[in-house]
Structure 1
Amino acid sequence: MDERLTELLAGLQYMPEPTLLAWLSCLWQMADAGEAAAVPLVGTAAGRRPLSRGGGGDITVELDRAAEAAMLNVLRDQAPAPHRVISEETGELGCAGEWWVVVDPVDGSLNAKRGLEYYGTTLAVASGPRLCDVVVGLVADYPQEHRYVALAGCGAVSTRNVDSAGLSTNVELILTEMGRPSNAVFSFRDMGILAGAGSNSGESGPDFRVRQMGSLALSLTNTALGVGDLLFCPAHARAVDIAGGLLFLREMGGGACAVDGGRLWEQPLDLERRTPFVAWRPGLSGTVMIERSRRLWRVKHPT
């Protein structure tokens, strides 16, 4: 096992069973391989070269392809058990075994194509076909060289040191990932409802700010660590984008729910865009956040 990973695992609440450790070691090596393949292509014409439409529906460019190819090579060599793969670029591969491996080779790929340093990868392993079945998650922030690791029931650890002590129950910083402009139906003023404003989004209310960064996985880890208070994703999210980050958030003590009345954690591990959601950091009331998020949703979707 990688020495960096071994040191990191000392911070877990409980040590996982050997099979999960083997899967985590595999994901760690996949992230290393993806980083080595993708980073030299970031912000370059060669890396931006379009190839085809990927399994998730977006255009695959060379840096996506290179990262995925490197990762899948490691997976073929290092996987501890038979499995099926759900990858944003290639799609669904294989059908054997009781394990699902979820791969987004470059999360924040538009940022990476243009050289904006907020991108990485998100990987997960599940024991079944739904988000609630994810048991191992890894998110890597390539530019900042941070890794975020979670194992179901064992805790979450990261290479990043964030001092979140003393945070109040107020919502000051809302992260959002809207994707394309067609999803941007909520104004920043509307989002004041999440911070505690009344139903009339035009009235004066709490002092808060909104930031959109361009990577769902990294925004989830920033929420889990208390860098952001909330993450609001009005776009219909795919499991490949959120599986690893959601497990990290949950194991850190945060929470998440669908804002449209759906069942986020029952979402299948596939490539469909399914669920708009909100996620909140540890220390905030899940009951309050669920009520506020669904009240916000009704501003634009009253029925």
Structure 2
Amino acid sequence: MSEQNNASVVGGKSFTAVAINCASKAGEWIKTKLGNYASLDIKYSSHDLVTEVDKGSERLIRNLIMTHFPQHSFLGEEGVEPGPAASTQALEDVREAEYLWIVDPIDGTTNFVHGFPFFCVSIALAHNGQVIVGVVYDPMKDELFVAERGKGAYVHGKRMQVSGEETLRGSLVATGLPADHQYALPLNLKGIEAVAPKVRNLRIAGSAAMHMAYVAAGRLSGFWEIGLSSWDIAAGSLLVQESGGVVTDTNGNPYQLGVRNVVASNGLIQRELIASLAEAKADK
């Protein structure tokens, strides 16, 4: 089958196969660089790091994707200037693309730098603005989370299902510490103060994409964070949705590529989590 014909099959196996291949190859290479990176730079804040491994991973992924689908558009974190305004503009610049690959070459760079084994490669494909393929690969555990729209989500080849907790009190919930210290971090800290006493426990492990994959797998009941970018959320959003969960912004509006303040959960605790953030004025 030619590349042109492959590209015309929305949700076709060719898309998913390429995404899996890219994530696996990048993840394998990243693992060989653990503790062996040559340069470390601060981007937007001390929470926002980049190494030559991030950039090399993105080049590898982009080159592979463009080999198969040269007519597709590509949005990767390392090709965008730091900061929320640049992230928003970068997405706006490619909004009209029919097929858009959205890539975070290492989600959890700070963890990678410190040898903390919680980071991943995140690759999503959107068709006319809707995510149709999502892949999150954890090279340290060799765990591949894969979703195709309408076909379910899988890890280790087994169908994923979100957890069954019905209240915050019985839930394990995750969040993050945003790189934007002026706007997003203070709001997220207010959210932590409000939510932590209401849940079974709270986790902050440093990778939004992995947190969302864990919601999809039923390991977390929910996740929220303020000030994320499309490459942090896109793949994970489909994993959660195809596992029976719900993804919205912090006001409860349905997920779309421009969402920066996200809440993802098993669906059962979604309203309670959103209400807790709103009550603390930690939602926007």
When the two structures are superposed, what TM-score results if normalisation uses the length of structure 2?
A: 0.78
Q: Aligned pair in 2 of structure 1 residues 30, 165: CA closer, same or farther (>3 Å)? A: closer
SS of the residue 2:263 aligns to: strand
TM alignment of 1:223-234, pairs within 5 A: 223-233=215-225
- CA apart distance, 1:188: 4.3
- Post-superposition offset of 1:220: 0.5
Cα pair 2:54 2:105 within 8 Å, conserved? yes
Specify the code of the residue in structure 2 equivalent to 1:244.
A
Partner of 2:154: 157
- Distance change in 2, residues 1:292/1:30 (3 Å): closer
Distance 1:166 1:111 in 2: 26
Mark the CA change 1:189 to 1:98 in structure 2 (over 3 Å): closer, same or farther.
closer
Aligned residue type for 2:233:
I
Q: Equivalent pairs: percent with the same residue?
A: 21
CA separation of 1:23 and 1:143: change in aligned 2, threshold 3 A: same
Match of 2:240 among 232, 249, 259: 249
Which structure 2 segments of 5+ residues have no match?
1-8, 81-89
Aligned pairs for 1:135-146 (under 5 A) are: 135-146=132-143
Structure with the greater alpha carbon radius of gyration: 1
- Distance verdict in 2 for CA 1:264–1:35, change over 3 Å: same
TM-score, reference length from structure 1: 0.74
Quick one: which of 43, 55, 58 aligns to 1:65? Answer: 55
* 2:178 equivalent to 1:185: no
Secondary structure of the equivalent of 2:121?
strand
Q: Which residue of 1 aligns with 2:86?
A: none
**Mapping of residues 25-174 of structure 1, within 5 Å:** 25-46=17-38, 49-50=39-40, 58-79=48-69, 82-91=71-80, 98-129=98-129, 133-159=130-156, 167-170=164-167, 171-174=170-173
Taking the aligned partners of 1:178 and 1:100, their CA distance within structure 2 comes to 28
* 2:173 alignment partner, SS class: strand
| Alpha-carbon distance in 1 for matches of 2:172, 2:283 | 26
Amino acid at match of 1:144: K
1:289 and 2:270 correspond: yes
CA RMSD of aligned residues (A): 3.2
The alignment of Structure 1 onto Structure 2 pairs a total of residues equal to 256
Structure 1 residues without counterparts, runs of 5 or longer = 1-16, 196-207, 269-273
After TM superposition, the structure 1 = structure 2 runs for residues 7-18 of structure 1, keeping only pairs within 5 Å, are none
Q: Is the 8 A contact 1:193 1:293 kept in 2?
A: no
Match in the other structure for 2:174: 175
Name the residue aligned to 1:21. 13
1:279 aligns with 2:268: no
| Cα offset, 1:43, TM superposition | 2.3
> Which residue pairs with 2:203 in the alignment?
211
Residue of structure 1 equivalent to 2:249: 258
Q: How far apart are residue 172 of structure 1 and its match?
A: 2.7
Greater CA deviation, 27-36 or 94-103?
A: 94-103
1:103-152: CA deviations, max 9, x gaps? 100011110111110011110111123xxx01011010110001011111
Q: Distance in 1 between matches of 2:67 and 2:133?
A: 19
**Alignment-derived partner of residue 83 in structure 2:** none
